Amino acid sequence: MLHGLSRYSVHFAFATAVALLLSLVTTSPAAAVQAAGFAASCPAAGFISDPYGGARDHDGIDIANARGTPIYAVGDGEVINSGPAQGYGQWIRILHPDGTVTEYGHMYERDVAVGDHVTAGQQIALMGAEGEATGPHLHLRVRRDTSMSHGIDPIPYLAERGVVIPCTPGQRPGPPPLVYPVESGRVVSARSADGRLEVFAAGADGVHHAWQSQVNGNWSEWERLGGPGNARLAIAPNADGRLEAFAINGDTAQHRYQLSPSGTWSDWEPFGTGGNSLTAGVNADGRIEVFASGPTGIFHKYQNAPNSGWSNWEPTGGGPAAGLVKMEKAPDGRLEVFALNDKLFQHQYQVAVNGGWSQWEDFGGGGHDMTVNHNADGRLEVFASGPEGVFHKYQNNPTSWSGWEPTHGPVNAQLTSGRTADGRVEVFAVNGDVAMHTWQKGLNAPYSDWDNFGTGGTAITAASNADGRIEVFGTSQAGVHHRWQTGFSTWSPWDWVNSTSGPPIT
């Protein structure tokens, strides 16, 4: 852990800088976040006069402005409280369709009553200084559900739903952001609906699981889940926000899923026979689709409806046998799958949003590993490793690709990639001797030279915290380490995820 600086302090300073940067980026902030339960609207104009947490454990954020500044509903929902409240003077609480509750306090005038149904961006009150307040402001609190006694941080909650403070109030939200596939492999990480990262690592004795105890915060101890040993893993969010995890080894494929958004998990359930690798992504209509490789090529399986049951496994018409598979999403919402073995690299793509698939097309020669990401302008970019280092290939436009270009980097490395808070792609590579990373020097721009990132390991994955900071998980025969951004170009040291090493991964 960092000495003399809490992860929350890093998060708040970083989130403030992110808000400034995002206002300069031409793409919508919503395009850089995963879809949440709904697309939100700005609650009020103003500045954050008191953030969440801190020494006094502030249960919400204060947005300060002049008396009479309009306050708006964050999202559609039903008003479940409206009236006098101790400490607040007056309050309003709104229950949203995803089960979360937003709470508004200190207003001097309320415009809605209990039982009213409100829409995102609808004016509900006027800012005041009623109750325990030193000046006019909105106290905004968010609860995961009606049973919670303590709120979660509203900043990542809003960011997940496309709103970055400071914001323009009263505007109806645009379309929900695209849900991009999560990197698959021996270790995977994704954010729950409430913004907390969860990580899964596949050891010889099955899958192990840890999760952030608070948004952008510290981690739980490892929990052994059982399931397939020495598996390849994938993870994707259901349309209702519940994460679903998939695991495959040479004998079996299994899956498990959250029973409620950000909630507890089901047991492992059968998902098919064994294979080599798998990847999962979300169609534009919210249905998860999974691709898996085996000795005769690539097969896929998809939800028949969002949050629903599954089709049977179906052949995709070929693909590299026993290959690695990864997935990305085009700006229009079409999924694209990439598959690599030691002799062949191919890809196929949806010919229409939520639709059928092209034939497999050649994409290059064989290699060791790959990672796929998207530029700020939506163009896909692929990195692949082999005995001569790391190469990359990128879309010139939605229908054509560059040739393969060398980037140097570690030979025969495991690869992962993430996107910084301002939209730049950053790539991480590890082999048995060294870990290195390279990053775009600007949006949609060329890359830095490879820089040292640590010693060698066996697997690596990158995920983004709710405040935009990348967090990297690296594995070795000793266990699972992690490292996270403390600023735009600074990183914490490597450390165990929690007080124990986690599963050794060979």
pLDDT in tens, 385-401: 999 999 999 999 888 99
Long-range contacts of 265-273 (CB under 8 A, 24+ apart): 265/209, 265/225, 268/225, 268/226, 268/227, 271/246, 271/301, 271/310, 272/248, 272/301, 272/313
Peptide bond into 503 cis (omega under 30): no
> Are residues 62 and 50 in contact, defined by beta-carbon separation less than 8 angstroms?
yes
The residue length of the chain stands at 506
Can you tell me whether residue 431 is helix, strand or coil?
coil
**Residue 35: per-residue pLDDT:** 37
Q: Check whether 178 has a pLDDT greater than 80.
A: no
What's the predicted TM-score (pTM) here? 0.73
**Residue 445: per-residue pLDDT:** 94
Rounded Cα distance between 306 and 318, Å, is 27
Long-range contacts of 308-316 (CB under 8 A, 24+ apart): 310/271, 313/272, 316/291, 316/348, 316/357, 316/360
Rounded Cα distance between 77 and 253, Å, is 39
> Are residues 480 and 434 in contact, defined by beta-carbon separation less than 8 angstroms?
no
For 40-62, write each residue's pLDDT tens digit.
999 999 988 888 887 778 899 99
Residue 180 per-residue DSSP state: P
Q: Check whether 20 has a pLDDT greater than 70.
A: no
For 109-139, write each residue's pLDDT tens digit.
999 999 999 999 999 999 999 999 999 999 9
Mean pLDDT of 287-315: 97
Mean pLDDT of 33-38: 48
Closest CA to 144 of 231, 233, 282, 264: 264
**Residue 482: per-residue pLDDT:** 98
Q: Nearest 5 degrees, angle CA 498-CA 207-CA 32?
A: 70
Rounded Cα distance between 335 and 355, Å, is 9
Reported confidence tier of residue 173, pLDDT bands at 50, 70, 90? low
Q: Check whether 301 has a pLDDT greater than 80.
A: yes
**Residue 499: per-residue pLDDT:** 94
Q: What percent of the chain has pLDDT over 90?
A: 74
Mean pLDDT of 258-265: 93
> Are residues 33 and 175 in contact, defined by beta-carbon separation less than 8 angstroms?
no
Mean pLDDT computed over every residue of the chain: 89
Tokens of residue 247, six digits? 């695991």
At 438, the amino acid letter reads: T
Reported confidence tier of residue 177, pLDDT bands at 50, 70, 90? low
Give the DSSP H/E element, type plus range, for residue 325.
strand 324-329
Q: Check whether 260 has a pLDDT greater than 50.
A: yes
**Residue 78: per-residue pLDDT:** 95
**Residue 175: per-residue pLDDT:** 60
**Residue 169: per-residue pLDDT:** 81
**Residue 475: per-residue pLDDT:** 98
Mean pLDDT of 182-205: 95
Mean pLDDT of 242-255: 97
For 68-114, write each residue's pLDDT tens digit.
999 999 999 999 999 999 999 999 999 998 888 999 999 999 999 99
Mean pLDDT of 235-246: 94
Mean pLDDT of 225-242: 95
Q: Check whether 296 has a pLDDT greater than 70.
A: yes
At 384, the amino acid letter reads: A
Closest CA to 37 of 260, 342, 289: 260
Q: What percent of the chain has pLDDT over 70?
A: 91
Mean pLDDT of 400-424: 94
Rounded Cα distance between 109 and 106, Å, is 9
| Number of neighbouring beta carbons within 10 Å of residue 314 | 11
Residue 32 per-residue DSSP state: G
Mean pLDDT of 5-29: 42
**Residue 420: per-residue pLDDT:** 85
**Residue 56: per-residue pLDDT:** 77
Q: Check whether 415 has a pLDDT greater than 70.
A: yes
Can you tell me whether residue 151 is helix, strand or coil?
coil
